[in-house]
Structures are given as C-alpha cells and as structure tokens.
Copies of this chain bind each other. A is one copy, B any other.
C-alpha cells in the first residue's frame, strides 16, 4: 500500500551507493534521480575532486519510482503493469527511500539531501516530512510543488506520447518511436531557454541550422513510454503539502523545513522560474536563494552543459557539507 492510497505489490527500490558509510553513520548523502533519469545519470558530480566525494561521503543514489529501475510500469507484473500502474507521489518515494536507508543501512540522519528537478521536489518533501532527518537540503532546478503552468507544460509532454497511434493506449508491442521524437521537441523548446538559442549555443554543438538541431538523430534509449507517463503523473501531482499532515497548507509545509537549505533555480528555467523559488524561501526559516546565472534553462548544470553552472552547484553542495 502506497501512502497515496494505491496498492503496488512487491515494491522495489533500486539504488547505487558510492563510498563507505562511516561508523557513526553521519556521512550519508541522498541523491535521488530525476524525470527520465536512472542512477548513472547522477554520477557527473560524484567522484574524487567533486563535491560529492566518495572518499569522504556515503552517497546513495536512489531511483525514483517509474524510472524503469525502481518499480515501474515496465517491470511490474499484472494487474498493475503498463498503463495500469497507479499514481505514485513524491511522498511515496520519500517514505520508501526513508525505509530503505533505515533498513538497509541503519541511517537515521543524512548529512544532505540533494536533488535535481523532480529530485529537487523529492528533496523538498524530505525536508517537510522528515525535518529532523537531515542537516542540509539542496533542491536545484526544481520546486516544492508543481506550479499550474508547469502542470500545463506536462500535459504537452503527455500529449506527445499519447498522440502517437503506436502508443495503443499503453499496451504497445514495441516502443512508440514518434512519441519520443515529439517529446524531445517539447523538451527542446521548454527545457532550454530563449537566451540559449539567442546565443546560438545549439549551433556550437556542430549543427548548421536550428532545423538540423531539432532533427538530430534520436540516440539509442531504453526509455519506456508508460514509464514516462508514470513519472509525468508523479511530477504533475508534486506538492509537499498535499497530504494528511499539511492538508494543502503550502506555507505551513515549507515552514516545517528547518534544515539549512539552499534553493537553487536557474535564472532562465521555464519550468521552475526563480519567482517560484522566492516564494518558497519566504516561508522557510533556514533557506537561502542562489540563482544559477545560466542561459541553459532547465538544463543548467546538467551533464554536457556549461561547466561553470555545474561548478556553481557543486560549490553550494560543498558549502552545505562544510556546515
């Protein structure tokens, strides 16, 4: 039984750890994945010389539900397989992650919860649901709840999938290929920024025209259309106060987050604009706003983007871990 009320049999949470848990279990960091990502995608800021250094910290990268590694439409048996997979919430993820940390490692308190995008939504929820369970929080390019505008954007993501006749209501024999191409087009417009294109950064990747860029070959992928829809549903429902404890009182939920927090939007993010972050920190007793000065939009700091943005994020991680 999930916290959201749905029943999901034999729920599985997949994770990968980096480093060694110390004797007093005080060096653990939780770093959940984001929409469309699996645990290896998180590794670009993990390693020697990075803020998330496995020689000092025990870093648990946990896969969110629906991402194809943890319980997902693609790996769950009937009757909750494929399009019959229930809505799972950010809070469902958080509660399962807390159990994982306690039962597998005996971790009761984290040095840091850090998350990107949907992972940031998970970090916010951790702070509000288990306020004593971490010293610090770093949600970047994300939000404490999905804004109405971001919700409408996600309807476009879902429509990109479901408008492909090969999607077949979710009971497809092979992955619908047009679906993923259309979804990438949605992301190419929303996930970057006007400034990114104005500066011609897409052409600096080796494309002659904007048309060449958006028509670039689709990379090989193990993505699953129903998994995408399941994660989009989790994202749309994200709201750290949408539960029996907070009853939708958004400000009260944010006030509960007492861990030292750096809220880090990207200046040009069209999903999670800094204005929403400003509202968040106005309710948080121990939070600082640091805006990534990026033109990469929602992708600021992600693998393959501007190293300066990545360094900006890593500096905040280091600041929080320094205490």
Is A182 interfacial (CB-CB < 8 Å)? yes
Least CB separation from A190: chain B residue? B189
- With a cutoff of 8 Å between Cβ atoms, the chain B residues found around residue A153 in the complex are 189
- With a cutoff of 8 Å between Cβ atoms, the chain B residues found around residue A251 in the complex are none
Number of this chain's copies in the assembly equals 2
Q: With the chains together, A153 CA to B152 CA distance in Å?
A: 15
Q: With the chains together, A275 CA to B185 CA distance in Å?
A: 23
Contact A194 B147 (CB under 8 A): yes
Contact B156 A210 (CB under 8 A): no
Least CB separation from A188: chain B residue? B152
Contact B210 A152 (CB under 8 A): yes
Is A302 interfacial (CB-CB < 8 Å)? no
Within 8 A of B (CB), among A159-183: 159, 163-165, 178, 182
- With a cutoff of 8 Å between Cβ atoms, the chain B residues found around residue A323 in the complex are none
Contact A193 B149 (CB under 8 A): yes
Instruction: Give A323 Cβ to nearest chain B Cβ, in Å.
Output: 34
Is A276 interfacial (CB-CB < 8 Å)? yes
Contact B214 A275 (CB under 8 A): no
Is A105 interfacial (CB-CB < 8 Å)? no
Contact among B152, B182, B192, B198 for A147, CB-based, below 8 A: B198
Is A12 interfacial (CB-CB < 8 Å)? no
Q: With the chains together, A151 CA to B198 CA distance in Å?
A: 11
Beyond contacts A195-B275, A198-B276: 18 other A-B pairs, Cβ-Cβ < 8 A, are: A147-B194, A149-B193, A149-B197, A149-B198, A152-B185, A152-B188, A152-B189, A152-B214, A153-B189, A156-B156, A156-B185, A156-B186, A159-B182, A163-B178, A189-B190, A194-B270, A194-B273, A198-B275
The list of the 7 closest CB pairs from A to B, nearest first, reads A148-B197, A149-B197, A149-B194, A148-B210, A152-B189, A163-B163, A153-B189
